[in-house]
Chains A and B, each alone.
Chain A
């Protein structure tokens, strides 16, 4: 009796095996497929998938096949695939990560193809477009720019009797204290502890404040730390004081809680990327504005990332296929107003000027912030520097570490890291 059951099970498995084998064989006839990988999950993923669906609906000759990988694991998988020659036709890649793939020739230099296909190069905002150039060659097309911005709860401000948005650090602190005294809600909502997500906001603001004062994070050749000076001191001091001295920000605040506190109307000033806009907009009765980060410490400057679309280089790549991929890129970037719904800033001038984009609340303001956006330094060591500094900054802010000691430690660590690349 048992043997019969085993036999049935084996046969069932064999059938399933053939089923899966069949699924692997793809139809040769029909539309040309462009495969690509993206890292947009959750809310972002929904908006992005909508663009892909729109493309597939409106094109009969080309179809896009998208596979999503969670952000945490995306680059692991991508790198392994590139090393083995298994990469898809097109990939989403953060501008900051492009440098991991360009020197080894993993990405296709696009210049000739762009010319051959009359790609609307001039329709792109210069700064993000040029950020995808290395050694004078174009290796990716920017999809969006996503800077850090400031969200303000107008109701809480009204309750606290504050009429204007603070423009200097002193004003910001004072307003934060006022909100807390008058309403009992959190003054300045900046996450400072890693939980499910790393508390990158702290690092991003530290970064931004240095640039606002006219400094830079690394030296011009990216070979050494450049923040152990009065700029870094002032920036870290301000962030630490918010938690320790003025108590406008609680310690132990993680990313999710920071977002949710503002979402539920319990925080006055919230700092995060433009991407939070989509989620916050869905919150009924949350009366907020979203503006570029004011130049609290000097001229306006804010950390910004950028998602780009790139084409993995493959031996004997077919120019016709590249043309298809560029068609897809053209479409996706050309429909930036759909992507803007997630909060990201589109990179095409025509989109920024379009009515559809202008109709979205706040987005026009974001587009302006792109002008003061600061991209992370282009160095392969950046991921490790960024992650390590995040830990050190968290520690310094939450544990009231003496500022100079913290800066010395960070500088030594960063320089050590750079030396290993």
Chain B
């Protein structure tokens, strides 16, 4: 592009600091973890090489499948809702409403709270006997609901807490994207007589596509990695009906000390996430790059 400058050299030079940290603290332990997955190891004793046996056992492990399903359930519920919520919030914060600044703060602030804070807070709100939510619906004559103890509701309750916690993040990304859309486009549309809905669906969303795709990919990755809030709020219960795959991986590794098996499961999960993300990116991402 620029005569005389060495693109290749510069490209790699600029990437070097990141690569150093990345290789040291992510790649190396990642490969180390992969190696562990071929062994039977309980951390304290010596490793015993068992080849692909861990992976074989995973395929006949019922708990693996149910945990994976719970994670997928979570992804399917939270991804679309969080995208839509984030988008609506972004619309509000980029509108002309006098409340837009307040809205931006209120919607984003939950994101700064840590998982423990959010989870204990919502576990408290959802508490069946003394929590405020059941008190409120009780005022309308509805019987107390086991938000976290009834298998019908448990996953949804955790999802609601997640919406409150992280929708603000999507809002920030999308509102940044919306703000980058030139106001001239909207002005000329208004002159042409377009109403608000048409503006949103014909202009905002199409032009926001790269951001939406980015949010989608990030959201799916994050949702597949769900662990903390489910673990704290329901302990994976009731009777294991909300146990996510990461919780199973965590328990297998850190409570039962079957490190090899745990590592093997994490790699399968990693693989799944990668495939999903690649498929997404190829089908959605490339088109919007033009």
- Chain A interface residues (CB < 8 Å from chain B): 75-76, 79-80, 82-83, 100-101, 103-104, 106, 193-199, 252-254, 256-257, 260-261, 380, 383-384, 387, 391-392, 394-395, 398-399, 420
Contact = CB atoms under 8 A, between A and B. Distances in A.
A195 B130 contact: no
A194 B254 contact: no
Given A79-B44, A194-B234, A100 B239 contact: no
Contacts of B149: 193-195, 252-254
Residue among B43, B45, B127, B235 facing the most chain A CB atoms (10 A cut-off): B235
Contact of A76 (B123, B234, B255, B258): B255
Contacts of B130: 257, 260
B210 interface: no
Nearest to A391: B240
A256 B238 CA distance: 14
B132 to A, nearest CB: 15
A387 B251 contact: yes
Contacts of B257: 79, 100
B44 A106 contact: yes
A156 to B, nearest CB: 18
Contacts of B95: none
Contacts of A399: 239
Contacts of A199: 237
Given A79-B44, A260-B130, A196 B232 contact: yes
A104 B150 contact: no
Given A79-B257, A80-B43, A391 B128 contact: no
Contact of B254 (A76, A104, A387): A76
Given A387-B251, A392-B239, A195 B45 contact: no
Contact of B239 (A76, A104, A398): A398
B145 to A, nearest CB: 10
Contacts of A392: 239
B146 interface: yes
A106 B256 CA distance: 17
B239 A395 contact: yes
Contacts of B44: 79, 82-83, 100-101, 104, 106
B176 to A, nearest CB: 22
Contacts of A194: 149, 234-240
Contacts of B240: 194, 391, 395
A394 B234 contact: no
Contact of A103 (B45, B128, B233, B261): B45
Given A75-B255, A257-B129, A260-B129, A252 B235 contact: no
Contact of A83 (B43, B127, B232, B233): B43
Interface of B: 42-45, 57, 123, 127-130, 146, 148-150, 232-240, 251, 254-258, 261
A72 B234 CA distance: 14
Contacts of A76: 254-255
A257 B149 CA distance: 11
Residue among A100, A101, A194, A199 facing the most chain B CB atoms (10 A cut-off): A194
Contacts of A106: 44
B29 to A, nearest CB: 13
Contact of B255 (A80, A195, A383, A395): A383
Contacts of B127: 256-257
Nearest to B232: A196
Nearest to B150: A252
A195 B239 contact: no
B128 A254 contact: yes
Contacts of A104: 42, 44-45
Which 4 pairs, one residue from A and one from B, show the smallest C-beta to C-beta distance? A194-B237, A104-B44, A395-B239, A391-B240
Contacts of A100: 42, 44, 257
A197 B255 contact: no
Contact of B237 (A101, A195, A256): A195
B254 A75 contact: yes
A97 to B, nearest CB: 10
Residue among A101, A198, A391, A398 facing the most chain B CB atoms (10 A cut-off): A391
7 contacts: A79-B43, A101-B44, A252-B146, A261-B129, A391-B239, A392-B239, A394-B238
A104 B148 CA distance: 40
Contacts of A79: 43-44, 254, 257
Residue among B44, B234, B239 facing the most chain A CB atoms (10 A cut-off): B239
Contact of A420 (B129, B233, B258): B258
A195 B256 contact: no
B256 A384 contact: yes
A398 B129 CA distance: 18
B126 to A, nearest CB: 9
Contacts of A196: 123, 232-233, 235
Nearest to A103: B45
Nearest to A191: B149
B149 to A, nearest CB: 4
